[in-house]
């Protein structure tokens, strides 16, 4: 199975950053990969601002090496990627 773009970024960032930086700022990000973009979701404004200020340019550089930078963009926003349940099968318990 081929590794995703975000997995490749994580590998490189883990080698470049201290364990504390990686675990505090990068690991909480959730990624949604689309054909022409990578959406990184930060759990809150504090993480978003810190990643944007200290790590975003590095993430953009890594993705530019792996994808065509003229036709691919990386976006950073606040959010969470919720799991999608099959129709008729909610995640909770039935009464």
Query: Position of tokens 């490189």?
Result: 12
Question: What are phi and psi for residue 85, nearest 5 degrees?
Answer: -95, 150
Mean pLDDT, range 65-78, rounded to an integer: 88
User: For residue 67, how far is the Cα from the chain centroid?
Assistant: 15
Mean pLDDT, range 73-90, rounded to an integer: 72
Contact by Cβ (8 Å): 73, 36: yes
Please tell me the predicted confidence (pLDDT) of residue 24: 97
Query: Helix, strand, or coil here: 35?
Result: coil
Two structure tokens written together for 70: 């003229």
How many angstroms separate the CA atoms of 92 and 90, rounded? 5
Its pTM surpasses 0.85:
no
Mean of the per-residue pLDDT values of the chain: 87
Please tell me the predicted confidence (pLDDT) of residue 87: 52
For the chain, list the domains and their CATH numbers. 5-78 (3.30.300.180)
Residues 28-63: tens digit of each pLDDT: 999 999 888 999 999 999 999 999 999 999 999 999
């Amino acid at each position: 199975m081929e590794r995703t773009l975000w997995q490749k970024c994580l590998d490189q960032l883990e080698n470049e950053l201290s364990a504390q930086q990686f675990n505090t700022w990068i690991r909480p990000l959730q990624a949604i990969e689309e054909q022409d973009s990578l959406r990184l979701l930060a759990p809150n404004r504090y993480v978003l601002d810190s990643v944007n200020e200290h790590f975003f340019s590095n993430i953009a550089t890594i993705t530019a090496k792996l994808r065509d930078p003229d036709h691919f963009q990386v976006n950073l926003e606040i959010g969470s990627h919720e799991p999608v349940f099959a129709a008729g099968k909610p995640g909770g318990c039935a009464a």
